[in-house]
A = this chain, B = another copy of it.
Amino acid sequence: MNAMPIKIKIKDIAEKAGVSAGTVDRVLHNRGNVSKETKKKVLEILEQIHYTPNLSASALASKKTFVFYSVIPNCEPGGYWKMVEVGLRRAEQELSDFKVLLKINYFDQYDSASFIRAMDETLKNAPDGILFPPFQKQITLDYTRQMEELGIPYVFIDSKIEGARPLAYYGQDSFQSGYLGAKLLFTQKPDLHKIAVFSFFHSGEMHSNQVSLRMEGFQSYVGKFKKDCELVRVPLDAYEWDQNERIMENLFSENPDVEGAVLFSSRSYVIADFLEKHHHHVTLIGYDLLEKNVACLRKNTIAYLIAQRPEEQAYRGIKAFSDSLIFKKQIQPINFAPIDILTQENIDFYLKF
């Protein structure tokens, strides 16, 4: 009845080959200390029989502990990177039976030196895998080259860069999400001819690859369909809000005809709150499902939110390591997350999820 098709185990192979289980184990794991002839004999049996190790038993017996590192920006409560961290921890939790450890090193996303410090620190520990969002392209490529030499697999989240060979990527098609941002903005106001494009810097630095790519996508749409529309760049300081108010005031007094705005990083609510006070006729497109952004969406101070799935992406990123290294599965290298369009009408649905 319950005729479980008997699964082949190491012992079976050992018997067939006329050797002991220990020897088969040595062959399977390339541990050496096996004579050429016996090795050949065992390998022949393995060719014939399709042996797949029992993962439960393997995990249970294994003494190896896997240590994965994640290098992400400092995460403030309720912020985007906090959600990433939640996903990371969920993956760690789920893999705890497989002796998987996750460590996180943080950096300041507006300070390349701190990224470099965090990465150096991480590499020193010779981890079994590193998950991180690509920082400024050249700096990142430096590290991906190092990791490839050291044989350390790495996973990109958030955005990706060309020229690297990550084990996998989990995130949006950033360009496309920027492109969509433009499309949505013009859906609201087809005749826009001046758009404020905000971005956060600090001491002149802004290295978010994600933001750059979204910007390209946005521009691409405008270049294709709305050639006459002008984009006004507005650099804000990530940490000093006082002067930002002034910058924005200036912007609008010099450009009273700005009627659309966009910010490619997650703190759209900052812009929205400003606009609400003084310029509520400006239509704003924002990114990412933060609570504060959602509040703005409900108040209609943000017209559309374009969201990704930070928790899910981080979770799957870590799972990619375990699937590849522990469970020997093939990994799909490119994994574009859905580009969710959030409006007042459908936001509840996304929150529940």
**Interface residue ranges, A against B (CB under 8 Å):** 2, 4, 7, 52, 54-57, 59-60, 65, 67, 96-99, 101, 332, 338, 353
* Complex contacts, A67 vs chain B, CB 8 Å: 2
Find A56's partner among B2, B56, B65, B101 (CB 8 Å cutoff): B56
* A2: nearest chain-B partner, CB-CB: B65
* Complex contacts, A332 vs chain B, CB 8 Å: 353
* A61: nearest chain-B partner, CB-CB: B56
State A165–B66 Cα separation when bound (angstroms).
40
* Complex contacts, A54 vs chain B, CB 8 Å: 60, 97
Min CB–CB distance A87 → chain B (angstroms):
15
Known: A55-B97, A56-B98. 12 other contacts (CB 8 A): A2-B67, A2-B101, A4-B65, A4-B99, A54-B97, A55-B56, A56-B56, A56-B57, A56-B59, A56-B60, A56-B97, A57-B60
State A2–B103 Cα separation when bound (angstroms).
11
* Complex contacts, A60 vs chain B, CB 8 Å: 54, 56-57, 60
Min CB–CB distance A88 → chain B (angstroms):
15
Closest 5 CB pairs of A and B: A56-B59, A56-B56, A56-B60, A54-B97, A2-B65
State A98–B57 Cα separation when bound (angstroms).
11
- What are 22 of the A-B contact pairs (CB < 8 Å)? A2-B65, A2-B67, A2-B101, A4-B65, A4-B101, A7-B96, A7-B97, A52-B96, A54-B60, A54-B97, A55-B56, A55-B97, A56-B56, A56-B57, A56-B59, A56-B60, A56-B97, A56-B98, A57-B60, A60-B60, A332-B353, A338-B338
State A61–B52 Cα separation when bound (angstroms).
18
State A57–B59 Cα separation when bound (angstroms).
9
* A52: nearest chain-B partner, CB-CB: B96
* Complex contacts, A99 vs chain B, CB 8 Å: 4
* Complex contacts, A2 vs chain B, CB 8 Å: 65, 67, 101
* Complex contacts, A52 vs chain B, CB 8 Å: 96
State A105–B341 Cα separation when bound (angstroms).
40
State A263–B168 Cα separation when bound (angstroms).
37
Min CB–CB distance A208 → chain B (angstroms):
27
* Complex contacts, A98 vs chain B, CB 8 Å: 56
State A165–B291 Cα separation when bound (angstroms).
31
* Complex contacts, A338 vs chain B, CB 8 Å: 338
* Complex contacts, A353 vs chain B, CB 8 Å: 332
State A2–B65 Cα separation when bound (angstroms).
7
State A353–B336 Cα separation when bound (angstroms).
13
* A57: nearest chain-B partner, CB-CB: B60
State A14–B97 Cα separation when bound (angstroms).
20
* Complex contacts, A55 vs chain B, CB 8 Å: 56, 97
State A119–B60 Cα separation when bound (angstroms).
39
State A60–B60 Cα separation when bound (angstroms).
9
State A57–B58 Cα separation when bound (angstroms).
10
State A67–B97 Cα separation when bound (angstroms).
25
* A125: nearest chain-B partner, CB-CB: B1
* Complex contacts, A97 vs chain B, CB 8 Å: 7, 54-56
